[in-house]
Amino acid sequence: MSYQRFSALFPKKEMMGFIVLAIILAVVLPLSLDIFRLNLVGKYLTYAFVAVGLVLCWGYGGILSLGQGVFFGLGGYAMAMFLKLEASDPESTKIQSTPGIPDFMDWNQLTELPFFWEPFHSFGFTIAAIILLPCIFGYIVGVAMFKRRVGGVYFAIITQALAAILTILIIGQQGYTGGVNGMTDLRTLHGYDIRTDSAKYLFYFVCVFMLFVCLFVAQFIRKSKLGRLLVAMRDKEDRVRFSGYDVANFKIFVFCIGGVFAAIGGAMFTLQVGFMSPTLVGIVPSIEMVIFCAVGGRLSIIGAVYGALIVNAAKTSFSESFPELWLFAMGGLFIAVVMAFPNGLAGLYNTYAAPKVDAFFAKLFTKKPAVATTAPPPAITPSVSKPVVTKTETPVIPQGAIHE
């Protein structure tokens, strides 16, 4: 990527947001938290994947999916199936009446591995499934709904029904899925014990890395014409259609991307927490994922990460000390975020904190003219004039630095 395209993708202010988030996640938290708490943060971050996807679907595209848990579950269960098979080798399951199959199948009188489990012996297949399953599923649902112009609340209700269907199915077919308990007792990944502290550290960093991969993809989409088209469609769908675009395709695309993000999150959840269960798939978790996104700010991908972290951290600490207050707080949050601050934390930051931060930085770099405070929206300036401006403003940051 040339320098010019890079600075178009990451204008200075947004770049700072990415760097600050990277420092917090990759340096500050690992240094200040013990492994138990860090593992919890890792778990919260898996929801951030979903929230970032929702920013694209809902914030930009105006498509509210109340079934993101389905995608989270697809990724999580795919990973769990692989790990479960590895934990169910004939040696360690020899006390079962059929050794070599997962324990819950044995309890449900299954005598051989169902055919759709077979490919999950392969790690390569599992990784491919985590990416492709949500794409395929998202594509089918997307084509069926968006090509027929189902949208808005109808789409929300139907995706919610899908989440309900999947949960009922998983619980009902316990011989194939582990039922209501989910898939537990996952042990190793290629012989590497996932329950040790060192594994938890490793997976935390893998999770942070993957989150930044998703954030970069999301940022690329936001900054492309596709991002602007999504905003345009949210506003005047017909105008976009009569400007020569097949609107449904764009919605399908962004719905699939959101699904893939959620599935990666689900897979990271299984790896870090060590189990997967239908309670993470259904209606309630799916709609909670929307609130992570809304609290962060439905138009901010960075905000979505903070939203997921803060709401989940609050949930944990509330549930530890005042479990009965948590639902009140959560319910209040839903109402407040809709009625009082619809742009979430990012909106609050932009209104109240950003001017002060800008002033601070302007003072810090006084030798340069304080352009930053009144920087014009860069998206509009014709790109010919851009490199001249940005070269003097952007601190030189090696691209690799933000990955870690």
Q: How many residues bind another protein (CB under 8 A)?
A: 73
| Residues 6+ away with beta carbon under 8 Å from 160 | 66, 67, 283, 286, 287
Q: Which of 38, 80, 129, 162 binds another protein (CB under 8 A)?
A: 162
Measure the CA dihedral 210/215/220/221, to 10°.
110
Instruction: Give the whole-angstrom CA distance, residue 300 versus residue 291.
Output: 13
What is the per-residue DSSP string for 174-215? HHHH-GGG-B----EETTEETTSHHHHHHHHHHHHHHHHHHH
Please tell me whether residue 322 binds another protein under the rule CB under 8 A. Answer: no
Least Å from the CB of residue 26 to another protein: 28
Instruction: Give the whole-angstrom CA distance, residue 370 versus residue 388.
Output: 16
Least Å from the CB of residue 224 to another protein: 5
Q: Which of 94, 190, 225, 363 binds another protein (CB under 8 A)?
A: 225
Tokens of 54: 């929702």
Residues 348-387 that bind another protein (CB under 8 A): 376-377, 379-384
Backbone angles phi, psi at 97, to 5 degrees: -70, -30
Please tell me whether residue 319 binds another protein under the rule CB under 8 A. Answer: no
Q: Which of 90, 331, 355, 369 binds another protein (CB under 8 A)?
A: 331
Q: Which helix (H) or strand (E) holds 303?
A: helix 301-321
Residues 97-136 that bind another protein (CB under 8 A): none
Which CB sits closer to another protein, 206 or 310? Answer: 310
Please tell me whether residue 171 binds another protein under the rule CB under 8 A. Answer: yes
Which CB sits closer to another protein, 187 or 241? Answer: 241
Whether the Cβ atoms of residue 134 and residue 77 lie closer than 8 Å to each other: no
Backbone angles phi, psi at 276, to 5 degrees: -140, 135
Q: Which of 7, 39, 46, 160 binds another protein (CB under 8 A)?
A: 160
Using the rule CB under 8 A, give the single segment among 37-45, 78-86, 219-227, 314-322 that binds another protein: 219-227
Please tell me whether residue 228 binds another protein under the rule CB under 8 A. Answer: yes
Helix (H, G, I), strand (E, B) or coil at 276: strand
Residues 276-315 that bind another protein (CB under 8 A): 283, 287, 290-291, 294
Q: Which of 128, 169, 357, 397 binds another protein (CB under 8 A)?
A: 169
Tokens of 324: 């009965």
DSSP label of 96: S
Which CB sits closer to another protein, 128 or 161? Answer: 161
Question: For 55-196, where are the alpha helices, taking DSSP H only?
Answer: 68-87, 103-107, 123-146, 152-172, 174-177
| Contact map string, positions 39 to 68, toward another protein, x by CB under 8 A | -------------------x-----x----
Strand-pair partners of 385 = none
Whether the Cβ atoms of residue 247 and residue 241 lie closer than 8 Å to each other: yes
Instruction: Give the whole-angstrom CA distance, residue 170 versus residue 179.
Output: 6
Q: Which of 23, 226, 348, 375 binds another protein (CB under 8 A)?
A: 226
Least Å from the CB of residue 30 to another protein: 34
Residues 384-403 that bind another protein (CB under 8 A): 384
Residues 65-84 that bind another protein (CB under 8 A): none
Q: Which of 95, 109, 111, 148 binds another protein (CB under 8 A)?
A: 148
DSSP label of 377: P
Instruction: Give the whole-angstrom CA distance, residue 192 versus residue 200.
Output: 11
Residues 186-215 that bind another protein (CB under 8 A): none
Please tell me whether residue 158 binds another protein under the rule CB under 8 A. Answer: yes
Least Å from the CB of residue 383 to another protein: 6
Residues 232-251 that bind another protein (CB under 8 A): 232, 234-236, 238-247, 249-250
Instruction: Give the whole-angstrom CA distance, residue 78 versus residue 84.
Output: 10
